[in-house]
Amino acid sequence: MERTRMTSLAGALTLLAVSLPTPVSAEVRYTVTDLSAIWEVANPAIADAFTYMIPRSTSLSDQGQVVGAYMLYAEDPRVWAVEYGFVWDPTVGLHEFGPDWYPAAISDAGLAVAVTWSTFLLWDRDHGSGAAFPRENLASFYDVNDSGAAVGAGFPATLDGDPAIQWDTENGVRSLGTFGADRAQATEINNQGQVLGLATYRHHDDAHQDFWFLSDPETGTHNLGDMNDTQFIAVNDLGQVVGSGYRPVPDPEFPWLPSSFNSLLLWQDGNMTELETLRDGELCVGGANNAGEIVGIGYHFFEDSTYQYGFLWNESDGLQDLNDLIAAESPWRITWANDVNNKGWIVCQALDMEGRERILMLTPVPEPLPLISLCGGIIMLILSWRVNWGKQSAIWHEGHESPAVRLLLTPRR
């Protein structure tokens, strides 16, 4: 009788879970933080002194720190523009590098590299400060990994040619070479030490075309393709290189469309894969994470206009417009996604309702627990309670001969 009663209860709860409407996955998948508003509150005098502010975010760590800069322009064209570099941390707030500093990148662990005219800075999130080093050979740095290795290019260099360079605290600046070309620059480095970059020639012919490369400490250098046909922007810790490329397809019937297909590309272990292909648009990658999520800027071409948007691509949902993934009443239009971290947070550029450029942080909305899972958990809890109660009754019965004790601890039948 008791088993029948429990089965009926389980069946009733299951029926309730199935019959009640389960929550439909909401279109709003991200909450939005306006980082530009935070900067303006922290710098009211600077914000009021300049007529135009153009923010640029460049990189995002796994802890949610964002590095970037504000280009500030006065109404008087004779006044020089000023660039203010910053790091924003969701727990400790805003850290400013000050005028004429440009923070190029921040690693997953929160090491940031920033440069000014004569110095570059390795900033440590754990201490909220950085160590300054001479900017040897007018070196430019574009990325840094969790070990503190920064990569870039030297102009001009006392090293041979104009090589890609790598810097760390132990060895200082060292040449990575020009990879057979006349010049090279390293644009990205992952936590495995793989370096992504571009090699170029002063003079071009069929045998000398600028190309993208991946330098791997274990497998050597890989040629990723002609710069005229491809553009590779990011390499994650799995060695996946992402970018975009073109295939010629002239179509005289639609002269406003590009004369080629545009594809989102992934290179890994010598194999190139087209993840998404557009005929009436263009994609430019901003960043990628270890989960295979890719963000960037997208264009959709019409006969008399162009629509620009920030995009997200992943294997399950394909290409998505980020404007469709935030609240419809949001006062921003996302125009460019700069980077995505391993938690799925996205930093992007947007326009507000007054046409001002903003930096936004998108954080994923936690998915609600499905009702059927909740009811299933309740059912398992009840069944577990019934089994354990019966076991406790048997244990007490073995140690107590009193029928009264047995009566109290055993469920009524």
- Shared-domain flag, residues 67 and 11: no
Q: How does DSSP assign 207-244, residue by residue?
A: TB--EEEEEETTTEEEEEEETTTEEEEEE-TT--EEEE
Is residue 167 domain-shared with residue 290, that is, in the same domain? yes
Residues 73, 218, single domain; the answer is yes
| Amino acid at the residue 323 | N
Least confident of 98-102, 311-315, 389-393: 389-393
pLDDT tens per residue across span 79-138: 666 788 888 888 888 888 878 888 889 999 999 988 876 677 788 766 555 566 666 556
Length of the chain measured in residues? 413
Give SS3 for 319. strand
8 and 140 both lie in a single domain: no
The last residue of a domain, from among 367, 387, 403: 367
What's residue 122's pLDDT? 82
Q: Is the pLDDT of residue 351 over 80?
A: yes
Residues 13 and 83 in one domain: no
Let me know whether 169 and 315 are in one domain. yes
* 405 and 263, same domain (yes or no): no
Under 8 Å between Cβ of 196 and 214: yes
**pLDDT score recorded for residue 397:** 44
For residue 220, give its domain range: 27-367
Q: What are phi and psi of 13, to 5 degrees?
A: -65, -40
Residue type, 166: Q
Together in a domain, 4 and 119: no
202: left (phi over 0), alpha (psi -120 to 50) or beta: alpha
Mapped onto helix, strand or coil, the DSSP state of residue 245 is strand
Residue environment code for 350-365, b if the CB has 16+ CB neighbours within 10 A, otherwise e: bbbeeeebbbbbbbee
Q: Are 295 and 387 found together in one domain?
A: no
| Claim to verify: residue 376 and residue 359 sit in the same structural domain | no
- Specify the pTM: 0.79
Q: What is the model's pLDDT at position 107?
A: 94
Cα separation, 137 vs 179, in Å, equals: 20
Q: How confident is the model at residue 373 (pLDDT cuts 50, 70, 90)?
A: low
More confident residue, 3 or 228: 228
Burial (CB count within 10 angstroms: exposed 0-12, middle 13-18, buried 19+), residue 19: exposed
DSSP string, 326-344: S-TT-SEEEEEEEEE-TT-
**Where residue 276 sits, what CATH number does that domain have?**
2.130.10.150
**SS3 for 35-65, per residue?**
HHHHHHHHCHHHHHHCCEEEEEEEEECCCCC
Task: Find, among 339, 341, 338, the residue nearest to 349 by Cα.
Answer: 338
> Mean pLDDT over residues 25-47, rounded?
80
Q: Which of 60, 71, 137 is nearest to 100 (CA)?
A: 71
Q: How many domains, the chain?
A: 2
Confidence of residue 254 (pLDDT cuts 50, 70, 90): low
Kindly tell me if the per-residue pLDDT of 19 is higher than 50.
Answer: no
Beta strands at 346-352 and 183-189: parallel, antiparallel or unpaired: unpaired
344 with 409, same domain? no
What pLDDT was estimated at residue 161? 67
Q: How confident is the model at residue 76 (pLDDT cuts 50, 70, 90)?
A: low
DSSP character string of 267-292: EETTEEEEEEEESSEEEEEEEE-TTS
pLDDT at residue 198 tops 70: yes
Answer yes or no: do 15 and 112 share one domain: no
Range with the largest mean pLDDT of 184-193, 244-253, 371-380: 184-193
